[in-house]
Amino acid sequence: MADLQQWIDNNTYHHSQFWDLEKLVREKEKQNIRISLCLPTLNEEKTVGKELIIFNSELVNRYPLIDEIAVIDSGSDDNTLEVAKSFGADTYLADDILPNIEKKKGKGENLWKAIYQLTGDIIVYVDADISNIHPRFVYGLVAPLIYRNDIKYVKAFYDRPLAVSGGARSSGGGRVTEILIRPLFSLFFPELTAIIQPLSGEYAVRREVLEQIAFPIGYGVETSHLIDVHHKFGLEAFAQTDLDKRVHENQPTQALGKMSFGILQTFIKRSKALGIIDKAEHEKILRQFQAQEDHYQQLKMEIVEFERPPMITIPEYREKFGREQ
Amino acid sequence: MEYKDFDDLTNHLPGLAKKMRDFKDILLANLIMIGENPAPTFHEEQRIQFIVDRFTEAGLSESSVDDAGNGIGVLEGSEGENSILINAHADTVFSDKIDHTLQVLKNTVIGPGVADNSLGLAVLVSIPLILDELDIKLKNNLILLGGTKSLGRGNLEGIRFFLENNHFSNISAGLCVEGVELGRLSYSSIGMLRGEITCTVPESYDWSRFGDASAILTLNEVINKINDTRLPSRPRTSIIMGSISGGTSFNTIARDATLGFEVRSESEEVVNDVGNTIKSIVMEVTSKTGDHINLDIFAGRSPGGIPYAHPLNECVRKIMKSLNIKPRLAPSTSELAAFIDKKIPALTLGITTGDHINKKNESIKIDPAFTGLAQLISTIIAIDGGFCG
Range in A76-80, A156-160, A231-235 the model is least confident about: A156-160
What are the pLDDT digits (tens) for A18-77?
A: 999 999 999 999 999 999 999 999 999 989 999 999 999 999 999 999 999 999 999 999
Q: Which residues lie closer than 8 Å to A7 by C-beta, 6 or more apart?
A: A191, A194, A235, A236
As a whole number of angstroms, the distance between CA B75 and CA B135 comes to 13
Give the closest of A50, A56, A58 to B102, CB-based.
Answer: A50
Q: Identify the closest residue of chain B to A63 by CA–CA distance.
A: B57
Which residues in chain B have Cβ-Cβ distances shorter than 8 Å to A57? Answer: 25-26, 28-30
Task: Give just the sign of the alpha carbon dihedral B158, B162, B163, B165.
Answer: positive
Q: Residue B26 and residue A46: Cβ atoms within 8 Å?
A: no
**B104 min Cα distance to partner chain A (Å):** 5
- Percent of chain B having pLDDT more than 70? 97
User: How sure is the predictor about A172, in pLDDT bands with cuts at 50, 70 and 90?
Assistant: low
Q: Identify the closest residue of chain B to A130 by CA–CA distance.
A: B101
Which residues in chain B have Cβ-Cβ distances shorter than 8 Å to A47? Answer: 103
Please give the mean pLDDT across all residues of chain A. 88
B98 touching A (Cβ < 8 Å): no
Work out the end-to-end distance of chain B between its first and last CA atoms, rounded to an integer number of angstroms.
Answer: 21
What are the pLDDT digits (tens) for A261-302?
A: 989 888 888 888 888 877 656 677 887 777 777 777 788 887
User: How sure is the predictor about A10, in pLDDT bands with cuts at 50, 70 and 90?
Assistant: very high
Which residues of chain A have a Cβ shorter than 8 Å from any chain B Cβ?
45-47, 49-50, 53-54, 56-58, 61-62, 79, 82-83, 86-88, 131-134, 247
Strands (E), chain B: 61-65, 71-75, 83-89, 103-104, 108-110, 141-147, 171-180, 184-186, 188-189, 191-200, 237-246, 256-265, 292-301, 304-305, 328-329, 346-352, 354-355, 363-365
User: How sure is the predictor about B330, in pLDDT bands with cuts at 50, 70 and 90?
Assistant: confident
State the DSSP code for B93.
S
As a whole number of angstroms, the distance between CA B40 and CA B113 comes to 10
As a whole number of angstroms, the distance between CA B144 and CA B88 comes to 8
Which residues in chain B have Cβ-Cβ distances shorter than 8 Å to A247? Answer: 101
Q: Alpha-carbon Rg of chain B, whole angstroms?
A: 23
Is the separation of the CB atoms in A49 and A87 below 8 Å? yes
Q: Residue B26 and residue A131: Cβ atoms within 8 Å?
A: no
Q: Alpha-carbon Rg of chain A, whole angstroms?
A: 22
Please give the mean pLDDT across all residues of chain B. 92
The predicted structure's pLDDT at residue B253: 83
- Percent of chain B having pLDDT more than 90? 82
Which residues in chain B have Cβ-Cβ distances shorter than 8 Å to A134? Answer: 33
Statement: residue A309 has pLDDT above 80: no
Domain of A185?
Answer: 4-321
One-letter amino acid identity for A23? Answer: K
Which residues in chain A have Cβ-Cβ distances shorter than 8 Å to B104? Answer: 49-50, 53, 87
Q: Residue A58 and residue B102: Cβ atoms within 8 Å?
A: no
Which residues in chain B have Cβ-Cβ distances shorter than 8 Å to A46? Answer: 103, 105
**Number of domains comprising chain A:** 1
Give the closest of A54, A86, A88 to B106, CB-based.
Answer: A86
The whole-number average pLDDT for the span A74-97 is 94
**A235 min Cα distance to partner chain B (Å):** 36
B32 touching A (Cβ < 8 Å): yes
Helices (H) and strands (E) in chain A, counts: 12, 11
The predicted structure's pLDDT at residue A80: 95
CATH number of the CATH domain containing A86: 3.90.550.10
| pTM of the shown model | 0.84
The whole-number average pLDDT for the span B377-388 is 94
The predicted structure's pLDDT at residue A162: 39
What are the pLDDT digits (tens) for B8-52?
A: 888 888 889 999 999 999 999 999 999 999 999 999 999 999 999
Q: Residue B29 and residue A45: Cβ atoms within 8 Å?
A: no
Which residues in chain A have Cβ-Cβ distances shorter than 8 Å to B102? Answer: 50
The predicted structure's pLDDT at residue A281: 66
Closest CA to B153 of B336, B341, B358, B299: B299
Statement: residue A160 has pLDDT above 50: no
The predicted structure's pLDDT at residue A163: 40
The whole-number average pLDDT for the span B53-82 is 93
Statement: residue A92 has pLDDT above 60: yes
User: How sure is the predictor about A246, in pLDDT bands with cuts at 50, 70 and 90?
Assistant: confident
B36 touching A (Cβ < 8 Å): yes
B101 touching A (Cβ < 8 Å): yes
What are the pLDDT digits (tens) for B220-258?
A: 999 999 999 999 989 999 999 999 999 988 888 888 999
Task: Give just the sign of the alpha carbon dihedral A186, A157, A200, A67.
Answer: negative
Q: Identify the closest residue of chain B to A50 by CA–CA distance.
A: B104
User: How sure is the predictor about B208, in pLDDT bands with cuts at 50, 70 and 90?
Assistant: low
The predicted structure's pLDDT at residue B250: 85
What are the pLDDT digits (tens) for B251-305?
A: 888 889 999 999 999 999 999 999 999 999 999 999 988 889 999 999 999 899 9
Q: Residue B101 and residue A132: Cβ atoms within 8 Å?
A: yes
As a whole number of angstroms, the distance between CA B162 and CA B73 comes to 13
Give the closest of A54, A79, A83 to B29, CB-based.
Answer: A54
User: What domains, with CATH codes, occur in chain B?
Assistant: 6-189+303-384 (3.40.630.10), 191-301 (3.30.70.360)
CB–CB contacts below 8 A, A to B: 46
Closest CA to A218 of A234, A199, A237, A231: A199
The predicted structure's pLDDT at residue A209: 94
Which residues in chain B have Cβ-Cβ distances shorter than 8 Å to A58? Answer: 29
